[in-house]
Amino acid sequence: MRQVYTGADVFDGIVLHRGASVVVEGGVVRAVLPSGEAGLGEVVRLPGGILAPGFIDLQVNGGGGWQVDGTCDAARIAAMCEVHARLGATGILPTLITDTPQATATVIAAGIAAARAGVPGFLGLHLEGPHLDPRRKGAHDPALIRPMDDADLHRLLDAAAVLPALMVTVAPEAVTSEQIGRLSAAGVMVSLGHSDCDATTASHAVAAGACCATHLFNAMSQLGNREPGLVGAVLAGSLAAGLIADGLHVAPATMRVALVARTDRIFLVSDCMAVAGTDAPDMALGGRRILRSGGRLTLEDGTLAGADLTLDRAVGVLVHEVGIAPERAIAMATSVPAGVMGLQASRGHLIPGRTADMVHLDAGFALRAVWRGGVPVPAQALIMVSRSGSEPETY
């Protein structure tokens, strides 16, 4: 059925069209036209705001009461994709943080099964660790952090051959240039993070094939007057970089400086945990308790442990607190990560031929509705997490 979405401004991934309409048919965008030229079709009237591409989140540690861990299977990945679609992210990379080799193998197998099942919204996997620098461990378990060996490398190369996409966060101190080069040549997106490296070491990793940085400013060597660190290597170079824009992980003024220095390829990530989409006041991570309070997730010692963030709220922070134009802020959650993933031909834009994954944001950039392939996603639902340990229940 041909549908015409009208009543909102339309952000097509690049340009914000005032008073336009989006024509969708067969789950695909057919046209973006001035409202008076949309032609015949079922009219869907939106109460102002902005109609934009569905969000793409490349760092999702969990959601709906589930964490990406060594008990993960394809059904859990599907459930998390559904939770995050309700939160506006119509495409995600489920993310495993530092864990055992067996847990890594289990998550890879779950991702392969999810891909074969065609789970909606599943774009691939992000493995954040365990090949990191313990000096910049953040909330990662230092007992599980270790250098990459041949078995790790071949596990990743085999996974890259069958997964739709694979991002791997490593510290240059924990891998060799040869390992980075082999991963990159196999199509793995090598991202630098949880690293205390200097800028020269970072540049060598980029030359070997690294293409991204994980949660810019957090858990990495900082910009100094004589040593630029990994932050300086990102701001002065070509690496894409994720950014946790909750106003807690990175101060708004610092984000503003970064976005002036780099006008492209910085994208938003939620870095969310199992509590996303739930009412849970806390959660467990590798036997450690994570507390949830005031939009912040921390270990009991106060260390930030992921984020309690949705991408619509991150867009709002960029616009209202950092001072970024709405179209750039929304692009950082849509077309920019799509480009980083190489998915710009199918996702991240509302232009003819692209999948009709869409979000409707109100005037304050809060999420109001989601469509996946032109089909409405059920309204956001709070998930009550049972304290008895049974499966979460949505209502």
Q: What's residue 395's pLDDT?
A: 28
Residue pLDDT, tens place only, 314-349: 999 999 999 999 999 999 999 999 999 999 999 999
Maximum CA extent, the chain: 63
Other Cβ atoms within 10 Å of 47 Cβ, number = 10
The secondary structure of 347-383, three-state, reads CCCCCCCCECCEEEECCCCCEEEEEECCEECCCCCCE
Share of the chain above pLDDT 70, in %: 95
* Residues 194, 138 contacting (CB under 8 angstroms): yes
**Average pLDDT, integer, range 360-369:** 97
Please state at what angle helix 74-86 crosses helix 101-116, rounded to 10 degrees.
70
Q: For the whole model, what pTM was predicted? A: 0.94
Q: What's residue 37's pLDDT?
A: 66
Catalytic annotation present for 301: no
Say which CATH superfamily domain 3-52+349-376 falls into.
Answer: Urease, subunit C, domain 1 (2.30.40.10)
Residue pLDDT, tens place only, 256-312: 999 999 999 999 999 999 999 999 999 998 889 999 999 999 999 999 999 999 999
Residue pLDDT, tens place only, 135-178: 999 999 999 999 999 999 999 999 999 999 999 999 999 999 99
When pLDDT is cut at 50, 70 and 90, the band that residue 41 belongs to is confident
Helix, strand and coil in the chain, % to nearest 5? 30, 30, 45
Per-residue pLDDT at 206 exceeds 90:
yes
Per-residue pLDDT at 392 exceeds 90:
no
Q: What's residue 38's pLDDT?
A: 62
Please tell me which residue in 9, 99, 141, 271 is annotated as part of the active site: 271
- Domain ranges in the chain are 3-52+349-376, 54-341
Query: What is the DSSP code (8-state) at residue 282?
Result: E
Q: What would the two tokens of residue 245 be?
A: 């824009």
Q: For residue 57, what is the enclosing H or E element? A: strand 55-60
CA–CA gap between residue 64 and residue 80 (Å, rounded): 6
Q: What's residue 393's pLDDT?
A: 40
Q: What's residue 1's pLDDT?
A: 83
Q: What's residue 390's pLDDT?
A: 43
CA–CA gap between residue 305 and residue 53 (Å, rounded): 29
* Residues 392, 66 contacting (CB under 8 angstroms): yes
Other Cβ atoms within 10 Å of 346 Cβ, number = 15
Mean pLDDT value across the chain: 94
Q: What's residue 379's pLDDT?
A: 73
Q: Which CATH number fits domain 54-341: 3.40.50.2000, 3.20.20.140, 3.90.700.10, 1.10.510.10?
A: 3.20.20.140
Q: What is the CA radius of gyration of the chain?
A: 20
**Average pLDDT, integer, range 120-142:** 97
CA–CA gap between residue 367 and residue 373 (Å, rounded): 18
Share of the chain above pLDDT 90, in %: 92
Q: What's residue 7's pLDDT?
A: 94
